[in-house]
Copies of this chain bind each other. A is one copy, B any other.
Amino acid sequence: MPPTIGVFDSGFGGLTVLRELLEVLPGADYLYFGDTARLPYGSKSAHTVAKYAISSAHFLQERGAEILVIACNTATALALDEIKSAVTLPVIGVVEPGAQRAAEISKTRKAAVIATEATVASHAYEKALGARGIQSTEKACPLLVPLVEEGWIDHPVTEQVAHIYIDEVFRNGAKGADVLLLGCTHYPLLRAMLRRVVPAQVQIVDSAESTAKAVAERLQVPAAGGVGKVRCFATDSVEKFRRLGGRFLGRPIEDIELIDIET
């Protein structure tokens, strides 16, 4: 039997994690929960985010998830321990795998992290990197998520905004950093553009990719074999989920169900 992997995010961003999971574990079955009625989590408080994330984790466990991937940097940063306590299945967040990968490749032992406001305010990446001997500078980039959602992936305005944020982080504190950690699951869509903006000596680490690899290691199932099912659940407009989500997943999304989590 292929494993059933539950993937949770506040919206569409976690689909970049699912996309990477489908690369490394194509034979698994996936249940993806996007809490689109209550997004974005990035500007909300820890208490609110924890409450939302736990109800969604319960939902996925009830639907048969055997392992839970918190494919949301904000929920991981603010509420991972609370989620782990509230469910009985293994839980993997996106922060530790991203920090681990950054620590493996950094030579200068300095990293820059870009993320949402709430993730930065939690200093989850600073702590995870610090525990691995990496000094970090974090920068909130609240405009990048709406720019991605507007579809301005390769747009001059997005590049200009990225320039402003990236210049600021490398000017303030991140001098000498040789790794930029993408601490938001929307940012992988900007990776090609960010490559042009980020200093040449800086390597880009994507938490989505690192997390998928961590899940594959944890499950220790063969990467090959069959094509698994992907079922999606959204708390708001299924039509919008289909339209926007396909961009994040990199392929059309077929099976989406509207869920009212409060009832």
* Interface of A, helix, strand, loop or mixed by DSSP: loop
Residues on B with beta carbons closer than 8 Å to the beta carbon of A161: 157
| CB of A89 within 8 Å of the partner chain | no
**Contact check: which of B36, B38, B142 meets A149 at CB < 8 Å?**
B142
- Interface footprint category on A: 20 to 34
List B contacts of A164 (CB < 8 A): 157
**Interface digits, A139-166 against B, CB 8 Å rule (1 contact, 0 not)?**
0001101110110100001001100100
For A244, the closest partner residue in chain B by CB is B43
Near B by CB (< 8 A), chain A positions 19-56 give: 36-40, 43-45, 48
In the complex, A237 Cα to B161 Cα: how many Å? 26
A66 within 8 A of B: no
State A38–B147 Cα separation when bound (angstroms).
20
15 sample A-B contacts, Cβ–Cβ < 8 Å, listed by A number = A37-B45, A37-B48, A39-B43, A45-B237, A48-B236, A142-B149, A142-B150, A143-B143, A143-B147, A143-B150, A143-B152, A157-B157, A157-B161, A157-B164, A262-B262
